[in-house]
Amino acid sequence: MTRTVFRFVDHTVTPDTAPDAPPTWHRFRCLGEDEAGRACGAQSPGGEDFAAEQRWTFEHFRDHRDHTSYAQATERPWLIVPGRTGAACRR
Candidates 2-10, 17-25, 67-75, 80-88; binding stretch for Zn ion (CB under 5 A): 67-75
Nearer to Zn ion, 52 or 79 (CB): 52
Nearer to Zn ion, 26 or 56 (CB): 56
Q: How many whole angstroms separate alpha carbon 10 and alpha carbon 85?
A: 9
Beta carbon of residue 68, minimum distance to Zn ion (angstroms, whole number): 9
**Binding to Zn ion, residues 16-55 (CB under 5 A):** 30, 32, 40, 42
The residues of the shown chain that bind Zn ion, judged by CB under 5 A, are 30, 32, 40, 42, 64, 67
